[in-house]
A = this chain, B = another copy of it.
């Protein structure tokens, strides 16, 4: 089987920074499924037209495209039931929706003000105008004005992580003794920051920082190379 994952990339095609694409990269590694990660840029909509989606991640298995990270994760679990589970059972699959929703609706919004300028700096020339226009419309102000106090925003991010921190005081991963898709959802946010050289977010003695390092240490070599592009 051929398996291709379209991933958002910066000017350097090895700088893959989408938190949603990272979820699927880590999920594919979790399942032990070989794949080619293919860089894709915001403005390459025609290269993705075949999939019916205008956003990544898109996973293509033997020519059949699947879009949307949550749909892809559910597909991987259903299609490869004999590989390590991403959810730890049916209850776990339903429960994981909360980790994903919290990451999307609470953690990402706390983080994005810190990342807009680092992302913009690393984008391909052709993507910069699109990125600036779409994000300035979303925030209603220039990119340079979204985060007037970076230190305060880092404090907000750390405070936002308090329920993650409480869990990681009790067990090594959100999934328990090993990572599950819930871990990949949250880790996607940190890899997003990491890949664009965003500011350090966590104190060294933060249990979340210990978990982040464990998660980095478990990544495949190919993936690790992409975060430090």
Contacts and interface: CB of A to CB of B under 8 A. Distances in A.
A9 interface: no
A95 B180 contact: yes
A112 interface: no
A126 interface: no
Interface stretch (A54-62, A100-108, A140-148): A100-108
B94 A162 contact: no
A163 B101 contact: yes
Interface string A95-121: 111110110111000000000000000
A89 interface: yes
Nearest to A92: B91
A90 B175 CA distance: 9
Contact of A164 (B85, B98, B180): B98
Interface residues of A, number: 33
Contacts of A166: 97, 101, 104-105
A176 interface: yes
Interface in A78-97: 85, 87-97
A193 interface: no
A98 B163 contact: yes
B98 A99 contact: yes
Given A89-B90, A91-B92, A92-B88, A106 B170 contact: no
A6 B174 CA distance: 31
A98 B98 contact: yes
A176 B94 contact: yes
A182 interface: yes
Contact of A89 (B91, B99, B102, B105): B91
A171 interface: yes
A98 B162 contact: no
A161 to B, nearest CB: 10
Contacts of A170: 97
Top 3 A-B residue pairs of the complex, sorted by shortest distance between their CB atoms: A88-B91, A89-B89, A94-B176
28 contacts: A85-B91, A87-B91, A88-B89, A88-B90, A88-B91, A88-B92, A88-B95, A90-B176, A91-B175, A91-B180, A93-B176, A94-B180, A95-B96, A95-B99, A95-B180, A97-B170, A98-B99, A98-B102, A98-B164, A98-B167, A98-B182, A101-B162, A102-B102, A102-B163, A104-B163, A105-B162, A105-B166, A106-B163
